[in-house]
Structures are given as structure tokens and as C-alpha cells.
Amino acid sequence: MKKIIISGSMVVAIAALVTGATIAFFNDTETSTGNVFTAGSIDLKVDSFGATYNGQDVEVQGTAWTSRNLTNQKFFTFEDIKPGDYGTRHISLHADDNPAWACLLVTNKEDDEHDLNDAEGDAGDDTEDKGELSKYIHVFGWQDDDSDGTYDPDDDEKPLKIQGDPDFDLLSFFDVFYDLDIADSQSGTDPLSPTGPAATRNIGMAWCVGTQTVNHDTGAISCDGSGVQDDAQTDSFSADVVLYAEQVRNNPNFKCADVELGDPDFD
């Protein structure tokens, strides 16, 4: 008899719980509609202010253009260079929308032999699948702050840093196989910014077929082609120049040396 009474009490308790759930309480609802997360963007644009070749302005279509995203524009196109030839290139970079670190990277590098002529053979060139021209080409890059296309150390214009070299301030040139830190956490240079003093970054580049010498006191740049050998005759060197930008926000330790472009020939 006692067990029956306990069971009946449990049934009553459950019934009371179900009945209580049907009672309406005062309430109010506020809804914030249309919440959206929108990703920002980094849009790197490039200006070109032309080029010089052996001291003369290059008046060729495609050497200068206004700020744009690059399609088929080329920074260097020379088809009949000789030892001692030299020139300059002047570009500027802009990062729209958000501040960005920036790097100049060289990839898809290719030395082509073309034909082995008698002079190349006499110089000991017997490689039919690889050219030798690139080892004779040197380029010097600097922050061209006043946008005049000349290296002005008196105006505190500085050489661009070669990736991975702690003594970059002591170097007078970088080989075409090197990459440049335009602005990263290690370069000591402010990142690109849509506004403010770093809104535009002007870059000067001076190339030489031969031995390049840069005077960091006067800014004079010279080219001596006497060391170029005949093994480079008829050869060509081609490469892609990649201007890379990456966000600054939440990315304080960015280094250009860590960028991987997914190219098996990239080094």
C-alpha cells in the first residue's frame, strides 16, 4: 500500500510541471538585422615614369604608364645589349584601401643559350641548354624619395635591402637573382599606406652589363663592361618581376624572405 502512494505522488508532480510550462510570461524581443562581415582588401598599383638607356631617355611605348594593376607591362626589354650598356628604371607603388608591406621578387628566371657561335666556343662555352648572360647583369635599387630617377644619398635616399643579407647597407649592387625588401618588418622602412607620407613609394633601379660601382657618398653609378666574356654572346636572360604586398594589421613580423610564390624555380 505504501508503494502505491509514492507512485501517485510522482504522477502529480509531473502533471504540475507540464501545466506550469503553458503559462505565458511578459517578454520583449529586439532584433539587429543585416549583420555583415566584409573582408577588406589590399590593392597594389604601380606607376612607371619611364627609363633611360646609355644615358638617354627611352622614348618607347610601354616604358611609362599611370597608376594601374599590371597586365602585360614590362620593366625591362632590351634585345641587343652589349658589354658596358647601362640604364635606369623608375617606378612607384601605391597600396589602396589598407596599409601593406611590400617586396620586389624575381622569379621564373631563365638563361637561354640560343645558338653557340664561334666566339662562344672559343671562350669555352659548351653548354647548349643554359646561357651565361645573367651572371654579367647587375642591378642597384634604392628608395627614390624625391622621384627624380637619380640616387641621392645626400637626401638620405637609401639602398633597398637584399633579402637575407644583414650587411645590405654595405653593398653597392644586387644581382638579378636577389630579391628586395621594399618595406617589411626588418627593413626599417614604413609600410605602404593609402594616406600619409608613405602613400607612394618611389623605387629607382640602375642596371649594368658588367661591373657596376655605386658611390654612396656622391650617388654616382658607373658601369664597366670590360669583364664581360664572349660566352654570353647571343644569350638572353628573362625573368618575372613580382611586386608583392601583404597586410600590415595583425602582421607585425612580416618578412619578404618568408614569401613563397609557389614557383619551383623560385629561390
The predicted pLDDT at position 176 comes to 58
For the stretch 86-142, pLDDT in tens is 999 999 998 888 999 998 888 888 889 888 888 888 888 888 888 899 889 988 889
Q: Who contacts 75 (Cβ-Cβ below 8 Å, separation ≥6)?
A: 48, 89, 91, 205, 241
What is the C-alpha to C-alpha distance for residues 43 and 27, in angstroms, rounded to an integer? 49
Question: Which of the 8 DSSP states describes residue 97?
Answer: S
Give the 3-state secondary structure of residue 13. helix
pTM for this entry: 0.79
Note the pLDDT tens digit of each residue in 30-67: 898 988 988 888 889 998 888 899 999 886 656 788 88
Cite the beta strand spans of 56-159 per DSSP E.
56-57, 64-68, 86-96, 100-112, 137-143
pLDDT band at 251 (very low <50, low <70, confident <90, very high): very high
Q: Which percentage of the chain shows pLDDT scores above 70?
A: 80
Q: Where are the domains of the chain?
A: 43-258
